[in-house]
Amino acid sequence: MALRSAQGDGPTSSRWNGGAEKTDFNAKRKKKVAEIHQALNSDPTDVAALRRMAISEGGLLTDEIRQKVWPKLLNVNTNDPPPISGKNLRQGSKDYQQVLLDVRRSLRRFPPGMPEKQREGLQEELIDIILLILERNPQLHYYQGYHDIVVTFLLVVGEKLTPSLVEKLSTHHLRDFMDPTMDNTKHILNYLMPIIDQVNPELHDFMQSAEVGTIFALSWLITWFGHVLSDFRHVVRLYDFFLACHPLMPIYFAAVIVLYREQEVLDCDCDMASVHHLLSQIPQDLPYETLISRAGDLFVQFPPSELAREASAQQQAEKTAASTFKDFELASAQQRPDMVLRQRFRGFLRPEDRTKDVLTKPRTNRFVKLAVMGLTVALGAAALAVVKSALEWAPKFQLQLFP
């Protein structure tokens, strides 16, 4: 059962006002709900259609639908939840004190007006779920901000489904953030500036001159924006999008936020303190659907394989979980991501296969390419490519990546 009725059903629930527009919106919404249920009831489930629905305008619309679709996007068998540990996880966990502190500070992540007793009960469940996942997966290391992701799932899908879904998410999309060090997280952040450089070299050069770095986007990335957005409807809309896409999509979304704020940045003093202060204060009234469409477009135009060298080192890139998932240009039935992961982990990929798809484009050619392709393609085309990429690396039931 959804736990956040005070927040409203979805990001577009109060978007339209008045006669014809409202009727048109309701008709589109009803049609989309029917298409989602048709995909869910297909045998087998039409996961590609569900991914398209999650990416397209409005996302999955309601928490009731998310409770059914999010497990499908993560390939989680909801009939086989993780067993409850018989241990006293709080007593034996090295992370308990930090988790406790973080959860106690998470009051604003709960719906306003929620009774205190109910909120405290959910916070206790949140602690237990996090400790259970860490106990079952000793290779994962807790980081501050992880609780922001777990609480989002808890509020949307409830305490029964959350452990299974977050465990799968933690061992796939979030795996790099849960390494013993932040090396892989820093590497993923290093994709931010090359994306900006491809689209707006002037903005890129200004930020480089200011030496602002990418640390302003750290909390965006590791919490999937859950920590920095105050409206929960916008948070779950982004989760719909990210769950349907490649693990690096959050960094593309971070890039489009910076690009959207181009004029604000260029109007700043060109120094680290000024630019960092501006960018670390994320606006709450962003045009989310436009930015989602733009992020999908940029992923299609500039897939991770093209950015790997600029993101600082192909050798380091091959060590990250996100980089091992082949993007839409490389995906094929013969190169399933689980096989690529095994090959890369064991060092079996041939050198020419590791480097042949890395492309460095001269600055003068960027404008020609952008003029031909356009900065915004129809979401249908972008969604199709993004979905194709997502389907190639989607987690499989009980897949053992590193036996």
**Total count of residues recorded for the chain:** 403
Structural domains in the chain, sorted by start: 89-172 (1.10.8.1310), 182-305 (1.10.472.80)
Residue 231 gets the label, from left (phi > 0), alpha (psi -120 to 50) or beta, of beta
Confidence (pLDDT) at 124: 95
Average pLDDT over residues 133-153: 95
Confidence (pLDDT) at 18: 61
Backbone angles phi, psi at 89, to 5 degrees: -65, -35
Residue 276: pLDDT band by 50, 70, 90 thresholds? very high
Confidence (pLDDT) at 24: 83
CA distance 159 to 67: 11
CA distance 360 to 310: 8
CA distance 175 to 185: 10
Average pLDDT over residues 194-216: 96
Separation of CA 222 from chain center = 9
Q: What would the pLDDT profile of 73-126 be if each residue is shown by its tens digit?
A: 999 998 877 777 656 788 878 999 999 999 998 888 998 889 999 999 999 999
- Confirm whether pTM is higher than 0.75: yes
Place of tokens 């031909």: 372
Q: Using the CB atoms, write b or e for 182-218: b if 16+ within 10 Å.
A: eebbebbbbbbbbbbbbbbeebbebbeebebbbebbb
Closest CA to 304 of 257, 341, 252, 351: 252
Residue 287, CA distances (Å) to 11, 236, 302 in order = 11, 15, 22
Q: What is the DSSP letter of 44?
A: S
Confidence (pLDDT) at 87: 67
CA distance 384 to 247: 16
> For residue 188, what are its two tokens?
């993923």
Terminal CA-to-CA distance of the chain, rounded, Å? 36
When mean pLDDT is compared across 53-67, 69-83, 240-254, 356-370, the lowest value belongs to 356-370
Q: Using the CB atoms, write b or e for 361-399: b if 16+ within 10 Å.
A: eeeeebeeeeeeeeeebebeebbbbbbebbebbbbeeee
| DSSP string for residues in 107-123 | GGGSPTT--HHHHHHHH
CB of 208 closer than 8 Å to CB of 353? no
When mean pLDDT is compared across 79-83, 215-219, 259-263, 351-355, the lowest value belongs to 351-355
